[in-house]
Amino acid sequence: MRAVVKIGGSLLRSAQHFVEAAKFLSSYESPVVVVSAVKGVTDMLIELYKTRYESLYEAIRDIHVEIAKRLGVSGVEPLLKELRAALELPEGPDVLDYFMSFGERLSATIMNGLLKRMGFDSKLFVAPIVTDDSFGNARPLEDRSLASEIDGHEGIAVVTGFIGRTKDGRFTTVGRGGSDYTATFLAKLLGYRQVVLVTDSPGVMTANPQEVPEAKILPMMSVEEAVEAARLGAKNFHPRTFEPVSGGMYVEVRNYWSRGTVIGNFYAPPPYKVVLRCGEGSCVVGLEAEEIVKLGGEYVSRFAAQVPMPPKWAHDLFVKPYFEKLVWIN
Protein backbone atom coordinates (compact mmCIF):
# COMPACT_ATOMS: atom_id res chain seq x y z
CA MET A 1 0.00 0.00 0.00
CA ARG A 2 1.22 3.46 -0.91
CA ALA A 3 2.38 5.75 1.87
CA VAL A 4 2.01 9.51 1.97
CA VAL A 5 5.37 10.86 3.13
CA LYS A 6 5.72 14.52 4.03
CA ILE A 7 9.14 16.13 4.15
CA GLY A 8 9.31 19.20 6.38
CA GLY A 9 10.96 22.44 5.34
CA SER A 10 13.55 22.20 8.09
CA LEU A 11 14.92 19.16 6.22
CA LEU A 12 15.10 21.11 2.96
CA ARG A 13 17.75 23.76 3.33
CA SER A 14 20.39 22.85 0.77
CA ALA A 15 21.05 20.59 -2.20
CA GLN A 16 22.51 18.03 0.19
CA HIS A 17 19.30 18.08 2.22
CA PHE A 18 17.25 17.32 -0.89
CA VAL A 19 19.53 14.39 -1.68
CA GLU A 20 19.12 13.07 1.85
CA ALA A 21 15.33 13.35 1.57
CA ALA A 22 15.30 11.63 -1.82
CA LYS A 23 17.35 8.74 -0.42
CA PHE A 24 14.89 8.34 2.42
CA LEU A 25 11.96 8.44 0.00
CA SER A 26 13.47 5.72 -2.12
CA SER A 27 12.90 3.25 0.71
CA TYR A 28 9.13 3.51 0.07
CA GLU A 29 7.32 1.98 -2.85
CA SER A 30 5.86 4.66 -5.13
CA PRO A 31 5.11 7.05 -2.27
CA VAL A 32 3.02 10.16 -2.48
CA VAL A 33 5.55 12.76 -1.38
CA VAL A 34 4.25 15.97 0.17
CA VAL A 35 6.87 18.71 0.16
CA SER A 36 7.09 21.87 2.28
CA ALA A 37 8.81 25.04 1.18
CA VAL A 38 12.54 25.34 1.78
CA LYS A 39 13.18 26.42 5.39
CA GLY A 40 12.41 30.12 5.89
CA VAL A 41 11.06 30.72 2.39
CA THR A 42 7.39 31.10 3.34
CA ASP A 43 8.35 33.87 5.78
CA MET A 44 10.43 35.51 3.07
CA LEU A 45 7.52 35.36 0.63
CA ILE A 46 5.20 37.02 3.14
CA GLU A 47 7.79 39.74 3.61
CA LEU A 48 8.15 40.06 -0.15
CA TYR A 49 4.40 40.44 -0.50
CA LYS A 50 4.46 43.25 2.06
CA THR A 51 7.54 45.13 0.91
CA ARG A 52 8.01 44.14 -2.76
CA TYR A 53 11.74 44.57 -2.23
CA GLU A 54 13.71 43.56 -5.27
CA SER A 55 16.59 42.40 -3.06
CA LEU A 56 14.30 40.02 -1.21
CA TYR A 57 13.09 38.60 -4.49
CA GLU A 58 16.71 38.07 -5.47
CA ALA A 59 17.48 36.29 -2.20
CA ILE A 60 14.57 33.89 -2.77
CA ARG A 61 15.64 33.39 -6.36
CA ASP A 62 19.25 32.69 -5.41
CA ILE A 63 18.32 30.07 -2.80
CA HIS A 64 16.41 28.02 -5.35
CA VAL A 65 18.69 28.60 -8.32
CA GLU A 66 21.65 27.47 -6.24
CA ILE A 67 19.97 24.25 -5.07
CA ALA A 68 18.59 23.46 -8.53
CA LYS A 69 21.95 24.10 -10.15
CA ARG A 70 23.79 21.84 -7.74
CA LEU A 71 21.30 19.07 -8.33
CA GLY A 72 21.19 19.57 -12.09
CA VAL A 73 17.44 20.13 -11.97
CA SER A 74 15.50 22.43 -14.30
CA GLY A 75 12.10 24.05 -13.96
CA VAL A 76 12.62 26.71 -11.31
CA GLU A 77 13.33 29.57 -13.74
CA PRO A 78 9.76 29.90 -15.12
CA LEU A 79 8.41 29.94 -11.56
CA LEU A 80 10.90 32.60 -10.53
CA LYS A 81 9.92 34.70 -13.54
CA GLU A 82 6.30 34.33 -12.54
CA LEU A 83 7.16 35.45 -8.99
CA ARG A 84 9.06 38.43 -10.38
CA ALA A 85 5.94 39.43 -12.32
CA ALA A 86 3.81 39.02 -9.20
CA LEU A 87 5.64 41.96 -7.59
CA GLU A 88 3.38 44.23 -9.67
CA LEU A 89 0.14 42.76 -8.32
CA PRO A 90 -2.10 44.77 -5.97
CA GLU A 91 -2.60 43.79 -2.33
CA GLY A 92 -5.24 41.32 -1.27
CA PRO A 93 -5.54 38.07 0.67
CA ASP A 94 -5.68 36.08 -2.57
CA VAL A 95 -2.48 37.74 -3.74
CA LEU A 96 -0.74 36.91 -0.45
CA ASP A 97 -1.66 33.24 -0.91
CA TYR A 98 -0.44 33.44 -4.47
CA PHE A 99 2.91 34.76 -3.21
CA MET A 100 3.13 31.99 -0.58
CA SER A 101 2.32 29.31 -3.17
CA PHE A 102 5.74 29.79 -4.74
CA GLY A 103 7.55 28.26 -1.75
CA GLU A 104 6.02 24.81 -2.16
CA ARG A 105 5.83 25.04 -5.94
CA LEU A 106 9.57 25.69 -6.10
CA SER A 107 10.63 23.04 -3.59
CA ALA A 108 8.32 20.40 -5.07
CA THR A 109 9.65 21.17 -8.54
CA ILE A 110 13.19 20.62 -7.28
CA MET A 111 12.28 17.40 -5.46
CA ASN A 112 10.47 16.03 -8.49
CA GLY A 113 13.39 16.92 -10.76
CA LEU A 114 15.85 15.25 -8.43
CA LEU A 115 13.82 12.04 -8.16
CA LYS A 116 13.59 11.91 -11.94
CA ARG A 117 17.32 12.39 -12.27
CA MET A 118 17.74 9.48 -9.88
CA GLY A 119 15.78 7.36 -12.32
CA PHE A 120 12.38 7.29 -10.65
CA ASP A 121 9.14 7.67 -12.56
CA SER A 122 8.21 10.79 -10.61
CA LYS A 123 5.46 13.24 -11.43
CA LEU A 124 4.64 16.64 -9.97
CA PHE A 125 1.14 17.52 -8.79
CA VAL A 126 0.67 21.16 -7.95
CA ALA A 127 -2.04 21.95 -5.39
CA PRO A 128 -4.25 18.93 -6.07
CA ILE A 129 -6.58 19.76 -3.19
CA VAL A 130 -9.67 21.84 -3.85
CA THR A 131 -10.44 24.28 -1.04
CA ASP A 132 -12.95 26.98 -0.27
CA ASP A 133 -11.85 30.57 -0.82
CA SER A 134 -10.97 31.57 2.78
CA PHE A 135 -7.53 32.73 1.72
CA GLY A 136 -4.88 32.25 4.39
CA ASN A 137 -6.92 29.62 6.17
CA ALA A 138 -8.67 27.71 3.43
CA ARG A 139 -10.70 24.60 4.12
CA PRO A 140 -9.98 21.59 1.96
CA LEU A 141 -13.07 20.10 0.33
CA GLU A 142 -13.95 16.44 -0.16
CA ASP A 143 -13.41 16.86 -3.87
CA ARG A 144 -11.29 14.29 -5.66
CA SER A 145 -11.38 15.99 -9.05
CA LEU A 146 -7.75 17.14 -8.92
CA ALA A 147 -6.36 14.42 -6.64
CA SER A 148 -7.64 11.34 -8.42
CA GLU A 149 -4.90 11.72 -11.01
CA ILE A 150 -2.36 10.96 -8.26
CA ASP A 151 -4.04 7.61 -7.81
CA GLY A 152 -3.66 6.91 -11.48
CA HIS A 153 0.07 7.63 -11.54
CA GLU A 154 2.03 4.49 -10.79
CA GLY A 155 5.39 6.01 -9.91
CA ILE A 156 6.27 8.55 -7.23
CA ALA A 157 3.83 11.46 -6.94
CA VAL A 158 5.36 14.70 -5.66
CA VAL A 159 2.75 17.04 -4.22
CA THR A 160 3.04 20.61 -2.99
CA GLY A 161 2.09 20.82 0.69
CA PHE A 162 0.26 23.76 2.27
CA ILE A 163 -1.40 25.07 -0.89
CA GLY A 164 -4.71 24.27 -2.50
CA ARG A 165 -6.89 25.70 -5.19
CA THR A 166 -10.35 27.19 -5.29
CA LYS A 167 -12.89 25.76 -7.72
CA ASP A 168 -12.04 28.60 -10.10
CA GLY A 169 -8.34 27.79 -9.94
CA ARG A 170 -6.83 30.41 -7.59
CA PHE A 171 -4.14 29.32 -5.15
CA THR A 172 -5.05 29.16 -1.47
CA THR A 173 -3.13 28.19 1.67
CA VAL A 174 -4.49 26.12 4.54
CA GLY A 175 -2.71 27.99 7.36
CA ARG A 176 0.88 28.06 8.59
CA GLY A 177 2.52 24.71 9.13
CA GLY A 178 -0.15 23.27 6.86
CA SER A 179 1.89 20.74 4.89
CA ASP A 180 1.29 18.07 7.53
CA TYR A 181 -2.41 18.73 7.17
CA THR A 182 -2.13 18.45 3.38
CA ALA A 183 -0.55 15.03 3.87
CA THR A 184 -3.21 13.67 6.23
CA PHE A 185 -6.05 15.20 4.25
CA LEU A 186 -4.77 13.79 0.98
CA ALA A 187 -4.31 10.32 2.48
CA LYS A 188 -7.89 10.39 3.69
CA LEU A 189 -9.18 11.69 0.38
CA LEU A 190 -7.41 8.97 -1.61
CA GLY A 191 -7.86 6.16 0.90
CA TYR A 192 -4.20 5.63 1.79
CA ARG A 193 -3.60 4.34 5.29
CA GLN A 194 -0.03 5.26 6.14
CA VAL A 195 1.10 8.86 6.60
CA VAL A 196 4.69 9.65 7.55
CA LEU A 197 5.48 13.17 8.75
CA VAL A 198 9.23 13.56 8.59
CA THR A 199 10.59 16.48 10.59
CA ASP A 200 13.79 17.40 12.35
CA SER A 201 12.62 16.07 15.69
CA PRO A 202 12.48 12.36 16.53
CA GLY A 203 8.78 12.30 17.40
CA VAL A 204 6.06 13.88 19.49
CA MET A 205 7.51 14.61 22.91
CA THR A 206 5.87 14.71 26.31
CA ALA A 207 6.80 18.41 26.60
CA ASN A 208 8.85 21.00 24.80
CA PRO A 209 12.39 19.75 25.52
CA GLN A 210 13.67 23.32 25.61
CA GLU A 211 11.45 23.92 28.60
CA VAL A 212 11.46 20.41 30.09
CA PRO A 213 14.80 18.76 29.30
CA GLU A 214 13.75 15.31 30.55
CA ALA A 215 10.82 15.18 28.11
CA LYS A 216 10.60 11.87 26.26
CA ILE A 217 9.43 10.72 22.87
CA LEU A 218 5.98 9.16 22.96
CA PRO A 219 5.90 5.75 21.30
CA MET A 220 2.17 5.94 20.61
CA MET A 221 -0.77 8.28 20.85
CA SER A 222 -4.46 7.96 20.11
CA VAL A 223 -5.89 10.17 17.38
CA GLU A 224 -8.04 11.95 19.97
CA GLU A 225 -4.96 12.87 21.99
CA ALA A 226 -3.07 14.00 18.91
CA VAL A 227 -6.00 16.12 17.69
CA GLU A 228 -6.12 17.79 21.09
CA ALA A 229 -2.35 18.30 21.35
CA ALA A 230 -2.19 19.88 17.88
CA ARG A 231 -5.21 22.07 18.60
CA LEU A 232 -3.44 23.35 21.73
CA GLY A 233 -0.26 24.09 19.79
CA ALA A 234 2.01 21.10 20.34
CA LYS A 235 5.13 21.00 18.17
CA ASN A 236 3.81 23.80 15.98
CA PHE A 237 1.47 21.39 14.28
CA HIS A 238 -1.26 22.92 12.19
CA PRO A 239 -4.26 22.70 14.54
CA ARG A 240 -6.16 20.41 12.18
CA THR A 241 -3.30 18.04 11.29
CA PHE A 242 -4.81 14.92 12.82
CA GLU A 243 -8.49 15.57 12.13
CA PRO A 244 -8.53 13.50 8.93
CA VAL A 245 -7.05 10.43 10.62
CA SER A 246 -9.84 7.87 10.76
CA GLY A 247 -10.50 4.16 10.40
CA GLY A 248 -7.34 2.18 9.82
CA MET A 249 -5.23 5.23 9.02
CA TYR A 250 -2.16 5.92 11.11
CA VAL A 251 0.47 8.64 11.19
CA GLU A 252 4.15 8.37 12.06
CA VAL A 253 5.88 11.50 13.31
CA ARG A 254 9.62 10.94 13.01
CA ASN A 255 12.98 12.03 11.67
CA TYR A 256 15.06 9.97 9.25
CA TRP A 257 16.47 7.75 11.97
CA SER A 258 13.93 7.47 14.74
CA ARG A 259 11.05 5.06 14.95
CA GLY A 260 9.01 8.06 15.97
CA THR A 261 5.53 8.39 17.40
CA VAL A 262 2.71 6.35 15.90
CA ILE A 263 -0.72 7.95 16.01
CA GLY A 264 -3.78 5.89 15.25
CA ASN A 265 -7.17 4.73 16.43
CA PHE A 266 -5.99 2.86 19.47
CA TYR A 267 -5.49 3.61 23.13
CA ALA A 268 -2.02 3.42 24.54
CA PRO A 269 -0.28 4.33 27.80
CA PRO A 270 0.71 6.53 29.53
CA PRO A 271 -2.56 8.17 30.63
CA TYR A 272 -1.07 11.68 30.38
CA LYS A 273 0.98 12.30 27.29
CA VAL A 274 1.75 15.89 26.48
CA VAL A 275 2.21 18.94 28.68
CA LEU A 276 2.00 22.33 27.00
CA ARG A 277 2.11 25.91 28.09
CA CYS A 278 -1.45 27.20 27.95
CA GLY A 279 -3.33 30.12 29.42
CA GLU A 280 -1.67 31.13 32.68
CA GLY A 281 -0.45 27.62 33.33
CA SER A 282 -0.22 24.29 31.53
CA CYS A 283 -2.49 21.96 29.67
CA VAL A 284 -2.13 18.25 30.16
CA VAL A 285 -3.30 16.15 27.23
CA GLY A 286 -4.16 12.51 27.78
CA LEU A 287 -6.80 9.84 27.99
CA GLU A 288 -7.39 10.46 31.66
CA ALA A 289 -7.56 14.24 31.62
CA GLU A 290 -10.90 13.92 33.39
CA GLU A 291 -9.10 12.60 36.46
CA ILE A 292 -7.20 15.88 36.62
CA VAL A 293 -10.49 17.76 36.46
CA LYS A 294 -11.72 15.73 39.42
CA LEU A 295 -8.64 16.87 41.32
CA GLY A 296 -9.46 20.52 40.63
CA GLY A 297 -7.97 21.06 37.20
CA GLU A 298 -9.96 23.02 34.67
CA TYR A 299 -11.84 21.19 31.94
CA VAL A 300 -10.50 21.99 28.47
CA SER A 301 -11.93 19.05 26.56
CA ARG A 302 -12.46 15.36 27.09
CA PHE A 303 -8.74 14.75 26.58
CA ALA A 304 -7.19 17.90 28.07
CA ALA A 305 -7.19 19.68 31.41
CA GLN A 306 -5.59 22.92 32.50
CA VAL A 307 -3.56 23.23 35.70
CA PRO A 308 -2.21 26.44 37.28
CA MET A 309 1.51 25.60 37.21
CA PRO A 310 4.40 25.82 34.76
CA PRO A 311 4.93 22.92 32.30
CA LYS A 312 7.94 21.62 34.19
CA TRP A 313 5.88 21.05 37.33
CA ALA A 314 2.92 19.59 35.47
CA HIS A 315 5.29 17.25 33.68
CA ASP A 316 6.89 16.17 36.99
CA LEU A 317 3.48 15.58 38.51
CA PHE A 318 1.54 13.87 35.72
CA VAL A 319 3.94 12.42 33.16
CA LYS A 320 7.13 11.61 35.03
CA PRO A 321 5.59 9.03 37.41
CA TYR A 322 5.20 6.78 34.36
CA PHE A 323 8.81 7.06 33.26
CA GLU A 324 9.77 3.93 35.16
CA LYS A 325 6.75 1.88 34.21
CA LEU A 326 6.88 2.17 30.46
CA VAL A 327 9.21 1.21 27.68
CA TRP A 328 10.12 4.53 26.12
CA ILE A 329 12.05 5.04 22.97
CA ASN A 330 14.72 7.30 24.43
Binding site residues, ligand ASP, CB under 6 A: 9, 36-37, 42, 103, 161-162, 176-179
**Neighbouring residues of 217: CB distance < 8 A, sequence distance ≥ 6:** 202, 203, 204, 205, 206, 258, 260, 261, 328, 329, 330
Round to whole Å and give the CA distance between 213 and 53: 41
Residue 10 CB neighbours (<10 A): 16
> Rule CB under 5 A: is residue 178 a binding residue for Mg ion?
no
CB-nearer residue toward ligand ASP: 178 or 203: 178
> Rule CB under 5 A: is residue 31 a binding residue for Mg ion?
no
According to DSSP, residue 315 is labeled: I
CB-nearer residue toward ligand ASP: 37 or 215: 37
* CA-CA-CA-CA torsion sign (182, 199, 158, 191): negative
CB-nearer residue toward Mg ion: 216 or 238: 238
Minimum distance between the CB of residue 221 and Mg ion, rounded to whole angstroms?
A: 17
Minimum distance between the CB of residue 171 and ligand ASP, rounded to whole angstroms?
A: 13
CB-nearer residue toward ligand ASP: 57 or 162: 162
Per CB under 5 A, the segment of 40-48, 101-109, 173-181, 277-285 that binds Mg ion is: 173-181
Q: DSSP string spanning 252-313?
A: EEE-SS---EEEESS--S-S--EEEEETTEEEEESTTHHHHHHTTPEEEETTEEEESS-HHH
CB-nearer residue toward Mg ion: 177 or 244: 177
> Rule CB under 5 A: is residue 177 a binding residue for Mg ion?
yes
Minimum distance between the CB of residue 126 and ligand ASP, rounded to whole angstroms?
A: 14
Residues that bind Mg ion (CB under 5 A): 177
